[in-house]
Amino acid sequence: MNESQRLAKELEKALFGEAWYGPSWKEVMAGVSGEAALERPLPKAHTIAEVVAHATTWFEVVDLRLKGETPKVSDEQDWPQVTGLTEGDWSELRERSLDRARTLVETVRGLSPEILEQARPGLSDTWFELISGELQHILYHAGQVGLLKKAVS
């Protein structure tokens, strides 16, 4: 197994299950209703739906960056406002998030291991740091969703 495959495996565990720390991204979203996803138990915090939309944006952005694109992210794209969510909308958002996560895992799995330590064009970090940063990012937000889920249950 090469380094790209190992990174992909770690992402996969954090996103879909068998993570050492606890519930994966998929598992932490399970059992949340559309109504609960819109609740704001902490007045200054994001809702579960907003966190999921935010994470989904970054699955897409990191995937595109790994494929050589340089998408800019507006404030509205970074933290999309999510209101008036039906159960169907919530189900669609969850599935889109998981679909984008799967795509990211496959992109990482297919990377040449030699590229990982190369600096990203015009930046001071490497491709490895982008991927490990996204892994840290999703772990942080999975924890947020877990706490919000407990607060709205």
Q: What is the pLDDT of residues 35-94, one digit of tens each?
A: 999 999 999 999 999 999 999 999 999 999 999 999 999 999 999 999 999 999 999 999
pLDDT band of 139, cuts 50, 70, 90: very high
Query: How far are the Cα atoms of 36, 50, 111 from residue 83, in angstroms, in the given order?
Result: 12, 9, 37
Q: How do the domains of the chain map onto residue ranges?
A: 3-152
Q: How far apart are CA 123 and CA 11, in angstroms?
A: 23
- For residue 92, the model assigns a pLDDT of 97
Q: How far apart are CA 73 and CA 18, in angstroms?
A: 31
Q: What is the pLDDT of residues 4-29, one digit of tens each?
A: 999 999 999 999 998 888 899 999 99
- Which SS3 state, helix, strand or coil, does residue 120 take? coil
- For residue 19, the model assigns a pLDDT of 84
Assign domain 3-152 to its CATH superfamily: dinb family like domain (1.20.120.450)
- For residue 20, the model assigns a pLDDT of 84
Beta bridge partners of 126: 119
**Mean pLDDT across 88-115:** 98
